[in-house]
A and B are shown apart, each in its own frame.
Chain A
Amino acid sequence: MTSRNAVVAPGRTAVAKRGRGPWPLVAAATLVVALIVVSLTVGVYDLRAQEFGSEMSWITRVPRTLALVLAGAAMATSGLVMQMLTQNRFVDATTSGTTEWAALGLLVTVLLFPAATLATRMVAASCAAFIGAMLFMTILRRIPIRTMLVVPLIGIMLGAVVSAVTTYLAVQFNMLQMVGTWFMGSFTAVVRGRYEVLWVVAIVTLLVFVLADRITVAGLGKDVATSVGVRYDLILIAGTALVAVAAGVTTVVVGFLPFLGLVVPNVVSMIRGDNVRSNLPWVCCGGIALVIVCDLIGRTIRMPFEIPVSMVLGLVGSVVFITLLLRQRRG
């Protein structure tokens, strides 16, 4: 239990349940498409009965669903990347303080340049997230003994300290309520014209697919990676930058999405083993499906009002995460 640093945990071999052809993945993708269709049809405004139906659907329903797909896929894959780079199963943007840094960056930008455009804010948030993620990695390198559980603890505490600074600033400038609304992860305000920047995270996801093998090798540690000819430091920085961009952009557009990057990759690798390249499509599908389901729950449970997706995610995510942790205890 103490120092299980290896990427492949005992009992979860890479060969588990593979070689059945593409059919399971096709089934999963069909399920995701079905969820997307459901997401398009559910809502207070009845698209068929009322006039402007098709227009409304292009103004709110389609952008919202696209935003769900993009954010879900990006956060889930960036969680996977984080877990490979830190060689730790329990790290993602939530448990490494990355989203808190993004929030701080966003707040500081808004305070310094109130007229900043959405693009400027995103760049600032991503830069702050990058600084935070690199700081986290640096601290991790300075600890010789990295147990499975100390790593996320340090990340969570770092996040707590950073968000205390954010709260301080927000209180000083009387922005506390606004900050609360910004960072409450929710797709309510996503309409045409407000989601398009999320396509940036689609690029991030694609880049993760391209770099998948190298990230896998980097996950085996610096020595192994260097000996097979991978430029470890470069991959580390590239991976961290990808995660930072995903976290920064998602935070600016929709807010915090807790536990998404943590739960999905872990569940996928529990079922399928640890081959990153073949797991990536599954992680994408899983992320999209989880976000859409949580959003649907939030939308329907108290119609015509909405419950932000981050609350449903926080609830589902913490239960799954604790189950994962306690399984470790028994194992």
Chain B
Amino acid sequence: MASIVRLADTGLPPLAPAPRLGWVTRALPIVVVFALALVLAILILSYGNPAPFGSSGYWTIVRSRSGSLATIALVAVCQAVATVLFHTATSNRILTPSILGFDALYVLTQTALVFAFGTAATGLEGIPKILAQSGLMVLFATVLYGWLFSGRRANLHLLLLVGIVLGMGFGSVSTFMQRLLTPSEFDVLSARLFGSIGKANLDYLPFAAAFVALILIFVWRRRRRYDVIALGRDVAVGLGLNYRREVVTILVLVAVLVSVSATMVGPMTFYGFLVATLAYQFARGDRHAEILPLAIGIGLVALLGATFVLKHVFAAAGLVTVIIEFIGGLLFLIVILRKGMR
């Protein structure tokens, strides 16, 4: 818990300078996590394959399984990076985009588009459609959350509560609109909203992957700036950073990443929180250069592991997200209780 408590929500710099560690020590957890993820990925591809090894049937099965593997990878990257960046921008480690209702906002945006344009919304396929819906979502998120976070007396728990209730409210509005849709419009909408790991839309996958890769490169180039932003507003401004611009950029990135992830598998509230919290726990330092890869790796292991275990041990592959929500929710409760006691 040490690293959680240190940065916490105070926005103050760490109390003691991080000890100097060799790069081998630093990279060790990352290497371990990715090795584990690789093993799990190979297991998922090959375990329980009925066709004999090397036959054409074998490779067909492997190919069909690699689709869900790619989905998992993309979701893990999106959620891990979005959550860690969001923590950085808000200088705390409790608020996450999903808990604040970003997912519900995505669902609302989609519903509103179909509500406004009817089945004609299907006409906007491909890049224009994705750009339009992401644009709407990004605009909304930036205005709303930018306004919430700009308040001087912004109180962590107040924000969290407002975010959760906003999420509930968005949910109600979406369901409300969905009730007003005609059945054919509703079909169009539900095809967009309710993805799952098993049946993600694979046509969309290469495009989304390329998009996320671009974002990753952008984030990686700015990793040192984000280290500075994590120190809090005053320090960052004092060190000569355009704080406001950086934070708005982060909010936009987060909105895009969340909408990609929600398109792939639907909303998952506590997954990002779970992944990021574990990453802070196991990381040897506070730098984004370590935390981001570690969070992605943990995200991969969590999703791959849950998928594998549920599929082959409990024969309940559809429940991966539910299980992760349950564990993440418990972890969240524990963290909140500990903070409440301080």
Contacts and interface: CB of A to CB of B under 8 A. Distances in A.
A322 B162 contact: yes
Interface string A288-316: 00000000000000100101101110110
Nearest to B325: A164
Interface residues of B, number: 39
Contacts of A312: 176
Interface in B129-177: 151, 153-155, 157-158, 160-162, 164-166, 168-169, 171-173, 175-176
Main secondary structure of the interface of B (DSSP, over half): helix
A326 interface: yes
Given A90-B161, A167-B322, A322-B166, A149 B329 contact: no
Nearest to A149: B157
A160 B269 CA distance: 10
Contacts of B239: none
Contact of B171 (A146, A314, A319, A329): A314
A144 B319 contact: no
A157 B332 contact: yes
B113 to A, nearest CB: 19
Interface in A111-158: 139, 143-147, 149-150, 152-154, 156-158
Contacts of B161: 90, 149, 152-153, 325
Contacts of B269: 160
A157 B333 contact: yes
Contact of B168 (A168, A318, A328, A329): A318
A50 interface: no
A165 B176 CA distance: 26
A227 B185 CA distance: 64
Contacts of B316: 171-172
Contacts of A182: none
A174 B45 CA distance: 28
Interface stretch (B3-11, B225-233, B334-342): B334-342
A315 B153 CA distance: 26
A286 interface: no
B169 A319 contact: yes
A261 interface: no
A321 B165 contact: yes
A171 B316 CA distance: 9
A258 interface: yes
Given A1-B153, A161-B329, A161-B330, A307 B166 contact: no
B245 interface: no
B333 A150 contact: no
Given A154-B340, A161-B330, A314-B171, A147 B157 contact: yes
A88 to B, nearest CB: 12
19 contacts: A150-B336, A152-B161, A154-B337, A154-B340, A157-B329, A160-B270, A161-B329, A168-B326, A172-B319, A302-B180, A311-B175, A317-B169, A318-B168, A321-B165, A322-B165, A322-B169, A325-B162, A329-B151, A329-B158
> Closest 3 A-B residue pairs measured CB to CB?
A318-B169, A314-B172, A149-B157
Given A153-B160, A161-B329, A167-B322, 17 more contacts: A90-B161, A143-B340, A146-B340, A154-B333, A156-B164, A160-B325, A160-B329, A164-B326, A168-B326, A171-B316, A307-B176, A307-B180, A311-B172, A315-B169, A318-B166, A321-B165, A325-B161
